[in-house]
Structure 1
Amino acid sequence: KHEDAMKRLGLKTIKKVAKRELKCAPYAFGQVQQFFVRHPCKSLSRMLLAVGDGGGNTVVVTIAWVRMPKAAQARDLRDLADRDGSGNIYALPDALLKGAGVRFTGDHYASRLDGALVVIAEATSGGGHPAPGVLEDAADVAAQFPVP
């Protein structure tokens, strides 16, 4: 259903990479990493998605699904991750990112809380000049994706 959701935004999937981890701290930075050291997660799934509008504009979206042992910990994690400058979870490393000079800045960010699950999504330009609204919409839609 990922493709259907992005199609509604006028975007088509170019590339998708997903991976699961059992630990979160090695894949996070800043205060978010410190949080995971004190409160280990149950699981982490990450996805890197590149979508294009057919007109030369590419949007790269990173999504992280973090399952915590307790809903209260998930809420604390989301509160922390939602604050500017607090850190986050690294995007999956990919040649797509390096080759295009892609950098996530936190400008187009969305998150969702569902019990003990936190979903964090961020979008950025992967090429061309996607409109800021398209980047925001891509992050908002991606935050609603189910765990792969």
Structure 2
Amino acid sequence: MNYNIEISKNTPTKRNGNTQNHPTNDAIDKKCLTLAKAINQLIRDRNILVKIAKRHESVATQFEAMIARHQTIENEKINFLQNQIHGINKQLQSIQVMLGELNKTNKEVTPNATIILKQCGISSPLYAGRNVNDLSTIKQYVYHDLTKCVARLHVCFKKE
């Protein structure tokens, strides 16, 4: 007996008087294989999308860290400028005291100026043990402190 019978792609059958074509096992296998390939491609695409999402999440975390660092740097700049302004204000107080003393008398500075400066906690050339009893020396100190104020302002704006 010869069992090598060729099976057609579609085997007609008769149902309720109508002839219908049903796919053969080969056709079903082919469709299943195509469907399996499509499912595998969807799984690969999903895995790629998951990787992309993880990368985006990582980048978002890095941006958040950069923003936090930037805010820290900005806060440090603000603190630096506040410290510079505080120092400038102290120097200006020192200058005001010395100018006030110069206005009181054109001959010499009273010891009161040094006491006031010490109470204000002002760092001034007056504490260097130098002679502050003549007018030209006081003018030099005022000029020196004004120059330091300008230099500090320059540093403040240069840092920006």
TM-score of the aligned structures, taking structure 1 as reference length: 0.21
- Identify, as 1 or 2, the structure richer in strand: 1
- Identify, as 1 or 2, the structure richer in helix: 2
Larger radius of gyration between Structure 1 and Structure 2: 2
Higher RCO, 1 or 2 (CA under 8 Å, sep at least 6)?
1
TM-score of the aligned structures, taking structure 2 as reference length: 0.20
